[in-house]
Amino acid sequence: MTTSLGAGSLLAVATDLVTLETEAPEQFVDVTDLLAERVRRSGIRHGFGSIQTCHTTAALAVNEDEPLLIDDMRRLLARLAPNELRYGHDDLARRGAAEDERTNGAAHCRSLLLGVSQTFHVVDGAIQLGRWQRLFLVELDGPRPRSLSIVVLGLKGDE
């Protein structure tokens, strides 16, 4: 949804909530094209935006979409917050968790390392990324449905 910020104003804000299904317990999902399409639909030509995951066991990261590098990043996260460690969060009885809750302390810690949002520039109606940069939803506790909140703010039209 795109909303102008006043009568006759070229300034507008566009918001969107996108839900997608991840397919693996840990996965790097390239959402660059999805974000680029949402920016195009917004009609905003110049400005900035933000994308945020609505989950505490998922993250957003900008990096290169190269399979060997993605494996390296996956292994790095596993070394920094191994599944095999004892996390207090995983003691479901001690913290009074719901019966269907997962043991996912490692996923929460990995998310903390990566962050839940990314900010981007919009120039000439397109997101600005470097030659090799891609935006990834990083699934850390899947598979499951994941929601992404997108907000784009800027000038509409060709000005």
Handedness of CA 94, 143, 74, 110 (dihedral sign): negative
**CA–CA separation, 5 vs 14, rounded Å?**
11
Q: Where are the domains of the chain?
A: 2-83+104-156
Q: What is the pTM of this model?
A: 0.92
**Looking at the domain 2-83+104-156, which fold is it?**
Jelly Rolls (2.60.120)
Whether the upstream peptide bond of residue 143 has omega within 30° of 0, thus cis, is: yes
Kindly state the helix (H) or strand (E) to which residue 136 belongs, with its residue range: strand 133-139
Scored b (16 or more CB within 10 A) or e, 15-35 reads ebebeeebeeebbbbebbebb
Residue-by-residue pLDDT tens, the chain, 159 positions: 766 666 667 899 999 999 999 999 999 999 999 999 999 999 999 999 999 999 999 999 999 999 999 999 999 999 999 999 999 998 888 888 777 788 999 999 999 999 999 999 999 999 999 999 999 999 999 999 999 999 999 999 755
